Amino acid sequence: MKKEYDLSKMKKRRNPYASRLKKQVTIRMGTDIIAYFKTLAEESGIPYQNLINLYLRDCVEHHRKLSLKWAS
């Protein structure tokens, strides 16, 4: 492999994965939830924000819905 490459002649092209990029959001979560995912992160070696994203993605893919029942 060369130590240096001449990239000045390369043609520009759009990122084919641009539609799949992540968007940064601000969300308030309980400290117990963050602690839970940080513990899972230490066990699995995956950053805790990625674990939260994977969990939410799983919810979307399986169309999981939260069942809320309010006390009367």
CB neighbours of residue 41 within 10 Å: 16
Name the pTM for this structure.
0.65
Identify the residue whose tokens are 């092209």: 13
Q: Residue 29 corresponds to which amino acid?
A: M
Per residue in 24-43, pLDDT tens?
A: 899 999 999 999 999 999 99
Residue pLDDT, tens place only, 6-17: 888 888 888 888
Distances (CA, A) of 21 to 10, 16, 36, 70: 24, 10, 26, 37
Residue extents of the structural domains in the chain: 30-63
CA distance 69 to 72: 9
Instruction: Provide the pLDDT for residue 15.
Output: 81
Q: How far is it, in rounded angstroms, from Cα 39 to Cα 11?
A: 45
